[in-house]
Every structure is written in structure tokens, then in C-alpha cells.
Amino acid sequence: MNMMRTAMLLATMTALFMGVGYLIGGSGGMTIAFLIAAGMNLFSYWNSDKLVLRMNNAIEVDERNAPEYYAIVRALAANAGLPMPRVYLIDSPQPNAFATGRNPENAAVAASTGLLQRLSHEEVAAVMAHELAHIENRDTLIMTVTATLAGAISMLGNFAFFFGGNRDNNNPLGFVGVLVAMIVAPFAAMLVQMAISRTREYSADRRGAEICGNPLWLASALDKIARNVERIHNPEAERNPAMAPLFIINPLSGERMDNLFSTHPNTENRIAALQAMANEGVGRPAQRTAPQPTAQSSAPSGPQGPWGGRPAEQAAPEQPRPSGPWGRNPTGPKGPRS
């Protein structure tokens, strides 16, 4: 079923891409757009994860330079029966996280330094369990490919604005076609992308709560992330808004309406669903504690470690951000694998 949905989505986005090409350059433009779309689909399948990680300036970490964070992901992956994903860190004060990769064997999870500093140990575990649920459900492929194609359709719309008006002889609909290519097609791509993202968040919330063993941990994490996202900007996401649906909470703005135009479901609705799960006893039969820090990392250096010292949310906002998790610089950071 997931493969069928993925194929249908790719067909829809490819059709939109071809439609924009037709509106700009007629049948010749449609042919060129089809070839470009086919190439982008192949490129996205194999390389979209690397592209997304690079766009967010993510660095790969391991148990040597981020032992607590890495141990959480490793324990949760074992709980879920998943292969160990690659683990990345984003140097950003905005608490957020995402997963990417074409399948569980080639997956990666990424969390921001703000997430590790502002959330408790249990809340971080719940967020990473949510991202592992996306990997298990194979949402990561469809979301990263959709983000790539949606961005490409928007670029074609911009191309139509600058060049479409001079090619009325190739454009069967003239100025109306250019207008449709500029506005309607990118808007339609955005709606498809948002609808897919929103439906998958509820499923990932539920499975993530099962993986970590406590829905209330994730409910608390979502509340903290949403409140911080409203006041902390993410410049990389602002420059590449097509990436927004990849994150656990929309990094662009605090969405307050659960409607067709939001990239994510309303956070309060997600929290209510998780609280209902807790009332139903989800996680209680095999109640688990959050994966615990390793012995060598139980006393992290620096006063703003997430699970020791003063809570990060009480820290002065003007205090400089650490360049690595828990105030330590990662030794030998690795970029996305080529």
C-alpha cells in the first residue's frame, strides 16, 4: 500500500511538472518537463536525503562525540526493530528534528542542538521515536521526493514569470497559461505536499508513542517545540520552505489552524490525540523508560546540558550557542555521505 501511494504521488507531481512545461512551451515544453521530472525522480530517490542534510548544514555524529544522543537513537531503533540509522546534528537554536532516506536500510535522523538543549531526556527520546516511525512507515522517501519536486515546480513557475510571456507562439493558452504556471501549479503542488505530510504526522505520532512507550513524553515535547518555534527562526528552512513538511513541527511559523493550508496538523490536536492514547493505556503493558545516557556521558561538560544542570529553557537567550551537542564540539564531524 505504501508503494502504491508513493507511485501515485510521484505520478501526480510529475503530471503537475509536465503541465507547467506545457503551459510554458506547449508540447515541446511538456516533453522537456517530462524528461526533467524523470531525471529528478531518479535523483531524488538516490540523493534527496543527502541534499536535505546539506541544506540544513547537518553533521554526522556517533557515540564518541554525541554519546547520549546516539545512545537514545540506538536503543529506540532496537525497540522498533529497525536498522541503526545514521545520526546527524543541526547547529540551530530552534528545537526541531526530521528523518530522511529512501528506506530503513539507508535512513538518517537529524536533531537540532536546540532540541537537545531545551527538551528533557524523555522528550528527546519521544521525538526521535516519532522520526523512527516515519522511517518504519517509509514516509521519508515520499516526503523528501515531494519536497524536491514541489521546489522544482515552484522554480518552473518563476521561470514562466520571466520567460513565458515572450513565448506565446509556443504557449497554447497565452498569458492565461503563464499565469496558471506561475500561480496555480505551484499552489497545487504545495497542497499535495501539505496533505501528504499532515496525514502522516498523526500516524507517526501514534507509532512513535508505541516505540518510546509513553505518549505523554511526545505530547510534552510537541508543546515545547511548538512554543519555541514561534519565537526562534530557522534561516535554512526559511530559505528552503519546501523542506518544512519534513520536520516534526513546521519550522517556518506557529500554525494555529488545522486546515488545508497548514504543513502540519494543529499541535493541540496532536497533543489531544496522544493524551487519548495515554488514557487508553498505550505503552503501559510494556512500559519502558527512556534510553539512558551511557556511563561515560553521565556528567556532560557545560552548564546547559539537557539532562543535567540548569534547564536550558531558563538559560539567558543572549548566551552564545554551543557548536556541538551539550556544549561539546564534535570531534571529526562527517558531512552527509556521498
Q: Which residues are annotated as a binding site for Zn(2+)?
A: 130, 134, 201
CB 215 within 8 A of CB 278: yes
CA dist., res. 329 & res. 170, Å (int): 56
What amino acid is encoded at 244 in this protein? Answer: A
Task: Decide the pairing of beta strands 97-101 and 59-61.
Answer: unpaired
CA dist., res. 109 & res. 298, Å (int): 23
Task: Decide the pairing of beta strands 86-90 and 107-112.
Answer: parallel
Residue 103 neighbours by CB distance under 10 Å: 12
CA dist., res. 118 & res. 10, Å (int): 37
CB 180 within 8 A of CB 161: no
Active site residues: 131
* Three-class secondary structure of residue 238 per DSSP: helix
Q: What is the DSSP string of 137-189?
A: TTHHHHHHHHHHHHHHHHHHHHHHHHHGGG-TTT-TTHHHHHHIIIIIHHHHH
Q: Using the structure block, give the residue that is written with the C-alpha cell 493505556.
A: 281
**What are the residues whose beta carbons fall under 8 Å from the beta carbon of 317, sequence distance 6 or more?**
none
The number of C-alpha atoms within 13 Å of 290 and in the hemisphere containing its C-beta is 23
